Amino acid sequence: MYRWLLDFYHGFLVVMAQGKRLEAFLNSAVAKGVYLWGIRRPAPGRLLFRVRVKDFPGLRSSFRRCGCRGKILHRSGLPFLLRRLLQNKGRWLGLLFFIAAVQILASFIWVVGVAVGDGALPGEPRIREELREIGVRPGALRGKIKKAHERILEELAIAFPEAAWINVELRGVVVLVTIVGKTPPPAKEEGPADIVAAKEGLVSEVIVLEGTPLVKPGDMVTPGDLLILGEKVLPRREGGFISQPVRAEGIVRARVWYEKRVEEPLAVWQPVRNQRETVVYSLRWRDRIFPFYRRGRVSGKVLWERHTKRIYRGRNQVNLVELIKDIYSEVSWEKVRVSPEEALAKARREAARELSSLLPETATVKNRREEWEDGGGFLLYRLVVETLEDIAQPAVAFREQQEERPDQSPNQNQSQNESQSQNQSQNKKQNQETTTEDGARQAVCI
């Protein structure tokens, strides 16, 4: 191989020698240190051989001395190939034209892609129109877009102030514009509201920032119970009291108990693999799977395992081509006993996992109690966790809705109030409602 490459690199000739003393010619050539190969006798008095280009001139004296004639039949190798290529001007012109065409075509933008992210943003047509005005359109010069990258970003930011993030990416002849809208923070709720209990618990601390507290430490509350009333009672100049609706604010800490029961079996059915299995190799390309090799045969119940190996990620870094190995193992189900310790550990893990999703982050665990017993084939586990947490939750005052609907009779309003109060399990005083000139709702205690 190495020899052939070297001969090809230097170039070689296929020569035919004619004469009577051909053996003498070969001896004479070899004596001069010339390397000959591929020596054949096609006919008596004729000899075909190969020789390197640089050695051929040295053979002339040998030809003459032995009375032979030499004729070059074929020239081969890199020097001759290059010479032939350089001689063919049309081919070079074609190659140059091709390279120039590719270069010119690649200097233009062909595709403008727009990706609109989340948030309040105008539609894609509007963005495309704006891009066209800025100069980002199919047919635009790629270099121009590259130079004006910063300007394009600035102009887009001005055109779309609602955008939080804008990116203009140049991928070959494709411009990909990505715009993500701003996500405004949730609007602060305003207007009168009460604070109710979110959970059942024993109140241990009440801190009122606004409103009238209706519970005190030591009270037991259930979900929906009114904790802080969204009303502020102020004394009137003329005498009596005036009740002004406010948005109740405050912290109501309570001891809350969480209970979780888990039943863990002390015997489970488990699949046990037999020796028999079927292995199927497949090739996945995008969503299609092409099985190409299968080994073994199974019947009955089987356990399926899949192993994948990525072959080609693809341009967008998704696993475009994958080699899949599916193993179907024949199994028989066997009843396996679980030790009580193992079952207890499993039940503990399960209960802790389920409780962790219920407990709020701000809750402080004060006490933890667990108990378990054998329930005939099952381990019955019970976990009780006591926490100290804020159970205050704002609730919209329903009286606000009554004001928005003045056509309703006071009786109707009252009945609606009562029904809602019942739903929330609130025990409120019945107030006589009056309306002042400025529209603020007031109540006078009788």
Partner 1 sequence: MANTVENGRGKKRYKRLLANFFGLPGEVLLDLPRLVMLGNSRLVVENHRGLLEYTEETVRIKTAQGGEIRVTGQGLNLLYMVKEELGLAGRFLRIDLPGGEE
Q: What is the spatial distance between Cα 175 and Cα 379, in angstroms, rounded to a whole number?
A: 63
33 binds partner 1 (CB under 8 A): yes
9 binds partner 1 (CB under 8 A): no
- Would you list the DSSP string of 170-201? EETTEEEEEEEE--PPPPPP-S-EEEEESS-E
1 binds partner 1 (CB under 8 A): no
Convert 35-56 to b/e letters by CB count within 10 Å (16 or more is b): ebeeeeeeeeeebebbbbbebe
Binds partner 1 by CB under 8 A, chosen from 30, 86, 111, 345: 30
Residue 153, class by beta-carbon neighbours within 10 Å (0-12 exposed, 13-18 middle, 19+ buried)? middle
Binds partner 1 by CB under 8 A, chosen from 15, 17, 22, 388: 22
Residue 434, class by beta-carbon neighbours within 10 Å (0-12 exposed, 13-18 middle, 19+ buried)? exposed
Residue 54 carries which DSSP code? G
Using the minimum distance from each CB to partner 1, give the nearer residue, 26 or 256.
Answer: 26
Q: What is the spatial distance between Cα 309 and Cα 37, in angstroms, rounded to a whole number?
A: 50
Residue 139, class by beta-carbon neighbours within 10 Å (0-12 exposed, 13-18 middle, 19+ buried)? exposed
Binds partner 1 by CB under 8 A, chosen from 4, 5, 20, 23: 23
Binds partner 1 by CB under 8 A, chosen from 16, 36, 114, 359: 36
Relative to beta strand 174-181, strand 111-116 is: parallel
Residue 438 carries which DSSP code? T
Binds partner 1 by CB under 8 A, chosen from 20, 40, 368, 369: 40
Instruction: Answer yes or no: are the C-beta atoms of 330 and 298 closer than 8 Å.
Output: yes
Least separation in angstroms between CB 3 and partner 1: 9
374 binds partner 1 (CB under 8 A): no
Window of 10-18, 41-49, 126-134, 177-185 that interacts with partner 1 by CB under 8 A: 41-49
Least separation in angstroms between CB 13 and partner 1: 15
| Ordered strands of the 378-390 beta sheet | 220-221, 201-210, 249-265, 378-390, 364-374
As given in the structure block, the two tokens for residue 405 are: 């609907």
2 binds partner 1 (CB under 8 A): no
Least separation in angstroms between CB 34 and partner 1: 8
Interface map 45-64 toward partner 1 (x if CB under 8 A) = --x-----------------
Q: How many residues bind partner 1 (CB under 8 A)?
A: 16
Least separation in angstroms between CB 32 and partner 1: 9
Using the minimum distance from each CB to partner 1, give the nearer residue, 44 or 184.
Answer: 44
Least separation in angstroms between CB 67 and partner 1: 16
How far is CA 275 from its chain centroid? 39
Least separation in angstroms between CB 16 and partner 1: 15
- Would you list the DSSP string of 271-322? EEEEEEEEEEEEEEETTEEEEEEEE----SSEEEEEEEEEEE-TTTTS--EE
Window of 35-43, 116-124, 390-398, 409-417 that interacts with partner 1 by CB under 8 A: 35-43
Using the minimum distance from each CB to partner 1, give the nearer residue, 35 or 97.
Answer: 35
Residue numbers 409-438 binding partner 1 by CB under 8 A = none
21 binds partner 1 (CB under 8 A): no
Q: What is the spatial distance between Cα 315 and Cα 321, in angstroms, rounded to a whole number?
A: 11
Q: What is the spatial distance between Cα 40 and Cα 423, in angstroms, rounded to a whole number?
A: 112
27 binds partner 1 (CB under 8 A): yes
Using the minimum distance from each CB to partner 1, give the nearer residue, 25 or 328.
Answer: 25
Least separation in angstroms between CB 142 and partner 1: 57
35 binds partner 1 (CB under 8 A): yes
4 binds partner 1 (CB under 8 A): no
Q: Is 10 strand, coil or helix? A: helix
Least separation in angstroms between CB 22 and partner 1: 7
Interface residues with partner 1 (CB under 8 A) are 22-23, 26-27, 30-31, 33, 35-41, 44, 47
